[in-house]
Structure 1
Amino acid sequence: MMKIVTKRTWVLFIIVAAVAVGGILFLVRSKQPTLPLKKGAHIVLIGNNLGSRMMNYGHFETELQLRYPDSNLYIRNMCDGGNTPGFRPHASRKSPWAFPGAENFQTDLAQPSGSEGFFETEDQWLARLKADIIIAFFGYNESFEGAEGLENYKSELDAFIKHTIKQQYNGTSPVKLALVSPIAFENLSKQYDLPDGNQENRNLSLYAAAMKEIAAKNNVHFVDVYNPTERWYFWTKEPLTIDGSQLTDAGYARFAPLLADLIFGKADVKNEDNRDLIRHAVLEKIGCGITILKFRMGYMLMVEDMIHLGLIITLLKLRKSEK
Structure 2
Amino acid sequence: MLLSAAFAVLIGTQSLPPGSARTLSPTAQPAQPANQPKPFEFKDGDRIVWLGNTLVEREQRYGYWETALIAANADKNLTVRNLGWSGDTVFGDARAGFDNAAKGYERMVSLTLELKPTVIFVNFGSNEAFGGKEGLPKFEKGLEKLLDSLRPANARVFLLTPIPVEKSASLSDPKALNDKLAIYSGAIKAIAEKRGLPLADLFHNFQNIRSSGPFTDNGMHLTEAGYKEFAPFFTNSLVQPGTVASGEKLEPLRQAIIAKNEQFFNKWRPQNETYLFGFRKHEQGKNAKEIVEFDPFIAKAEDEIAKIRKSLNK
TM-score by length of 2: 0.74
Alignment-mate amino acid for residue 21 of structure 1: T
Match of 1:186 among 155, 163, 166: 166
Once the two structures are TM-superposed, the CA of residue 92 in structure 1 deviates from its matched residue by 7.4
Residue 210 of structure 1: aligned partner: 187
Alignment-mate amino acid for residue 183 of structure 1: I
Residue 45 of structure 1: aligned partner: 50
1:198 correspondence with 2:175 = yes
Match of 1:282 among 257, 266, 271: 257
Q: Is the 8 A contact 1:162 1:218 kept in 2?
A: no
RMSD over equivalenced CA pairs, Å: 3.1
1:68 correspondence with 2:73 = yes
Q: Is the 8 A contact 2:117 2:155 kept in 1?
A: yes
1:312 correspondence with 2:289 = no
Alignment-mate amino acid for residue 126 of structure 1: T
Question: What are structure 1's unaligned runs of at least 5 residues?
Answer: 1-19, 103-119, 169-173
Aligned to 1:201, the other structure's residue is in SS state helix
1:1-323 equivalence runs, <5 A: 21-22=13-14, 34-90=39-95, 96-97=101-102, 121-164=107-150, 166-168=151-153, 174-188=154-168, 192-232=169-209, 235-262=210-237, 264=238, 266=240, 268-270=243-245, 273-295=248-270, 296=273, 297=276, 300-316=291-307, 319=310
Q: Is the 8 A contact 2:92 2:108 kept in 1?
A: no
Once the two structures are TM-superposed, the CA of residue 318 in structure 1 deviates from its matched residue by 6.8
Q: Whose Rg is larger? A: 1
Residues 187 and 306 from structure 1, CA distance in 2 versus in 1: closer, same or farther, beyond 3 angstroms?
same
Rounded Cα–Cα distance in structure 1 between residues aligned with 2:85 and 2:215: 21
Residue 282 of structure 2: aligned partner: none
Residues 305 and 127 from structure 1, CA distance in 2 versus in 1: closer, same or farther, beyond 3 angstroms?
farther
Residues 220 and 301 from structure 1, CA distance in 2 versus in 1: closer, same or farther, beyond 3 angstroms?
farther
Residue 5 of structure 1: aligned partner: none
Aligned to 2:102, the other structure's residue is in SS state coil
Number of aligned residues: 268
Once the two structures are TM-superposed, the CA of residue 211 in structure 1 deviates from its matched residue by 0.8
Rounded Cα–Cα distance in structure 1 between residues aligned with 2:111 and 2:155: 14
Q: Is the 8 A contact 1:72 1:312 kept in 2?
A: no
Rounded Cα–Cα distance in structure 2 between residues aligned with 1:258 and 1:140: 19
Residue 14 of structure 1: aligned partner: none
TM-score by length of 1: 0.73
Aligned to 2:217, the other structure's residue is in SS state coil
Identity %: 25
* Per-residue CA distance 1:41-91 (angstroms, 9 max, x = gap): 100011111111101211111112222223121100001012211224546
